Amino acid sequence: MDTAPRKYIKRSLEKVALKAASEFPAVMLTGPRQSGKTTLLQYLFAEDYRYVSLEPPDARAAALDDPRGFLDAFEPPVIFDEVQYAPGIIPYVKERIDSRRDIPGQYLLTGSQNLLLAEKVTESLAGRAAVLRLLPLSRREEEGHPQVNLFWEQAGRSRKGEKLSSRDMWRRFLRGNYPELVANPRRDTNLWYSSYVETYLERDVRTIRQVGNLTQFQSFLRALAARSAQLLDLTALAGDLGVAVNTIKAWLSVLEATYQVIILRPYFTNIGKRLVKTPKVYFTDTGTLCYLTGLKDPEHAVSGPMGGAIMETAVVSEVVKTLTHQGIDPQVFFWRTSAGSEVDLILQSEGGLVPIEVKLSATPSPAMAGSIKRFREDLSGLAMPGYVVHPGDVRLPLSEGVTALPFAEL
């Protein structure tokens, strides 16, 4: 087993976290397990802050049994890690903050379950805490260039990403973007994801929902992965698994609450066309998607039936991570009419709606711009220039207002 110390990978969220800690009495950092939350806070604040994990049973019991006494023992500035294990301390953190409201950066909190924490933070720390999210590594972070360059705001200027062969790019898709796997290339990907999924099932699923049959839930995970980037028919999925639709909805909410999936809903506006109302679901990490669908080889991944879904997942995830690590809540949708016109990703930015199509071919052609052109015609005045993202290395105009963009420039 590789026991070499893991190097720290610079994150785009660092500046946002430092600014938040300088302005708010508390900062809540959430995100999926193993996304680097603890590492980030310790890297930025270790010299000045005490660190306390609430995951060990004794620390958890102390926080739950006597929250005031627990907080007396750990005066700020302090990092409370895995606070979802003892969310009951949050009202008492509020009590401490209110006694000295003008002091920023008193408490730094981390948690991996948005569903449990959001209500507590909203009720108790509204106006007192900045809420940030840290997802797996973006491509910029993985390459060592965490500075953010939003491609849709650059008016034709390219961001030159690291040159990758098609095989290397698909290897990265299969390996995913969790920091531990990126920092330790010798780690066995399959073993890591196997452990991650099992740990996730045991800890998060049972904490949020009383799932009696974990094997059935794991079947749901794999069935959902096979439907990635497709319109999600919950009734059909429930029928295939032999469970109630409400159960599928509850399980899906668990995945969303623990940042395992990104749910894209259709963009609606009054354009006189009936749009599809069914959502699409993407896994936040391409490695998780590939593991759950049993893909281990780049050639099989790109040429098999999941190739397009993996590429689309990589693009959606990259856009969401880029915005999230700026401290922005991404407003992302898809567009599809009953007549079949579809744009894979619609990004609502300050300047308007940015349409993004994803293609598996590395040879872009003007025909690929058709859906974006129709979207821009239907939503003229709202639609900004669009992009066709592909796995090749060519950036070129496909038509007026539509540019072919290599994945490396996202």
Residue range 391-410, pLDDT digits in tens: 998 899 999 999 999 998 88
Task: Look at residue 2 and tell me whether its pLDDT is greater than 60.
Answer: no
When comparing pLDDT for 160 and 231, which is higher?
231
Q: Which pLDDT tens digit goes with each residue over 197-239?
A: 988 766 677 666 666 667 888 899 999 999 999 999 999 999 9
Structure confidence at residue 158 (pLDDT): 53
Return the HEC string of the chain: CCCCCCCCCCCCCHHHHHHHHHHCCEEEEECCCCCCHHHHHHHHHCCCCEEEECCCHHHHHHHHHCHHHHHHHCCCCEEEECHHHCHHHHHHHHHHHHHCCCCCCCEEEEECCHHHHHHHHHHHCCCCEEEEECCCCCHHHHHCCCCCCCHHHCCCCCCCCCCCCHHHHHHHHHHCCCHHHHHCCCCCHHHHHHHHHHHHHHHHHHHHCCCCCHHHHHHHHHHHHHCCCCECCHHHHHHHHCCCHHHHHHHHHHHHHCCCEEEEEECCCCCCCCECCCCEEEECCHHHHHHHCCCCCHHHHHHCCCHHHHHHHHHHHHHHHHHHCCCCCCCEEEEEECCCCEEEEEEEECCEEEEEEECCCCCCCHHHHHHHHHHHHHCCCCECCEEEEECCCCCEEEECCEEEEEHHHC
Structure confidence at residue 87 (pLDDT): 86
Task: Look at residue 333 and tell me whether its pLDDT is greater than 90.
Answer: yes
Q: How remote is the C-alpha of 326 from its chain's centroid?
A: 13
Task: Look at residue 272 and tell me whether its pLDDT is greater than 50.
Answer: no
Task: Look at residue 42 and tell me whether its pLDDT is greater than 50.
Answer: yes
When comparing pLDDT for 319 and 161, which is higher?
319
What is the rounded average pLDDT of the residues 152-177?
Answer: 75
Task: Look at residue 3 and tell me whether its pLDDT is greater than 70.
Answer: no
Q: Which pLDDT tens digit goes with each residue over 178-204?
A: 999 999 999 999 999 999 998 876 667
Strand 78-81's sheet: what is its strand order?
A: 50-53, 78-81, 107-111, 26-30, 129-133
Structure confidence at residue 271 (pLDDT): 47
Structure confidence at residue 250 (pLDDT): 86
Task: Look at residue 275 and tell me whether its pLDDT is greater than 90.
Answer: no
Please report the domains of the chain, with CATH numbers, ordered by start residue: 14-133 (3.40.50.300), 139-409 (no CATH)
Indicate the pLDDT class of residue 110, thresholds 50, 70 and 90: very high
